[in-house]
């Protein structure tokens, strides 16, 4: 029904992702601040969210999802962010690399790579798109690394080769982090490290680095999205600075939907 409110069209549901994601907390704050009391944020996963989006999009049905950039969904579908006049989702952010305390002493080469790792959104997108097109993440990452040795050599500058030292990287199964973590794992493997990737939820990822069971993660969305985790574990990790600049989170809908702003969800 075209005259139905946006809320009625989507059954007052926002399709979310895994409950530990910062964007879930941010969206709950949005529901509070915009007084969207009769709305529900549905928990799921990044993969379930993109599957729902794809299904709705192919049928031109209304849908609202928690979304972030960079992300391959923007190259695959015509989408828009809902305006956020209260600024609850915050401004542009950066993704930070986060190491356990003591990593520099124990694994100076890996530490150096993590510290120097930095790439533009366009590069991350290339890897994400390969994976979305069905390539195995490890394969997509190694192809990208092979084709981008100029950039990779800036990350490995000054890092010595090692002989099978073990490194464990934590990551959450968000498309952005699947891409970045596999790329860094490839680079470390090429340097001689024996790299283990440990897929966890967001809380355990930050806690693992703080406790030292994970050597590092490269998935710290700051200053806002992961502010809680950052504050909770402050002092128990080393912030190696940003590896990608200008990310964004928000509510995302298909272009064909007649809605502009989060304010419009109130009607």
Enumerate residues 187-206 that contact ligand PBE by CB under 6 A: 202
Find the shortest distance in angstroms from Cβ 71 to ligand PBE. Answer: 8
- Minimum Å distance from CB 187 to ligand PBE? 20
Pick the closer one to ligand PBE by CB: 17 or 195: 17
Nearest to 8 by CA among 62, 72, 67, 57: 62
Look up residue 9 and give its two tokens.
């069209």
Residue 174 interacts with ligand PBE (CB under 6 A): yes or no: yes
Return the range that interacts with ligand PBE (CB under 6 A); candidates 18-26, 53-61, 118-126, 147-155: 18-26
Residues 228-267, mask of contacts with ligand PBE (x by CB under 6 A): ---------------------x------------------
**Measured from the CB atom, is 22 or 159 closer to ligand PBE?**
22
Closer to ligand PBE by CB, 47 or 162: give it. Answer: 47
CB atoms within 10 A of CB 120: 12
Closer to ligand PBE at the Cβ: 25 or 112? 25
Question: Among 57, 193, 221, 237, which residue interacts with ligand PBE (rule: CB under 6 A)?
Answer: 221
CB of 215 to ligand PBE, least distance (A): 19
């Amino acid at each position: 029904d075209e005259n139905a409110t946006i809320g009625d069209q989507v059954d007052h549901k926002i399709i979310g992702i895994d409950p530990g994601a910062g964007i879930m907390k941010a969206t709950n704050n949005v529901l509070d601040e915009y007084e969207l009391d009769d709305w529900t944020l549905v928990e799921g996963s990044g993969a379930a969210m993109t599957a729902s989006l794809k299904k709705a999009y192919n049928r031109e049905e209304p849908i609202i999802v928690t979304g972030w950039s960079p992300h391959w969904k923007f190259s695959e579908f015509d989408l828009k962010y809902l305006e956020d006049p209260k600024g609850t989702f915050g401004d542009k952010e950066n993704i930070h690399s986060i190491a356990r305390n003591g990593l520099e002493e124990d694994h100076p080469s890996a530490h150096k790579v993590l510290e120097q790792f930095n790439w533009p959104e366009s590069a991350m997108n290339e890897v994400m798109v390969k994976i979305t097109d069905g390539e195995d993440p490890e394969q997509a990452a190694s192809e990208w690394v092979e084709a981008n040795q100029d950039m990779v050599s800036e990350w490995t500058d000054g890092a010595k080769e090692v002989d099978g030292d073990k490194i464990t990287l934590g990551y959450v199964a968000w498309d952005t982090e699947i891409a970045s973590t596999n790329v860094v794992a490839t680079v470390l493997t090429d340097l001689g490290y024996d790299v283990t990737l440990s897929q966890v939820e967001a809380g355990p990822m930050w806690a693992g680095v703080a406790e030292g069971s994970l050597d590092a993660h490269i998935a710290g969305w700051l200053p806002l999205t992961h502010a809680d985790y950052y504050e909770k574990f402050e002092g128990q990790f080393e912030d190696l600075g940003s590896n990608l600049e200008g990310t964004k989170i928000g509510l995302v809908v298909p272009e064909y939907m007649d809605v502009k702003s989060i304010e419009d969800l109130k009607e």
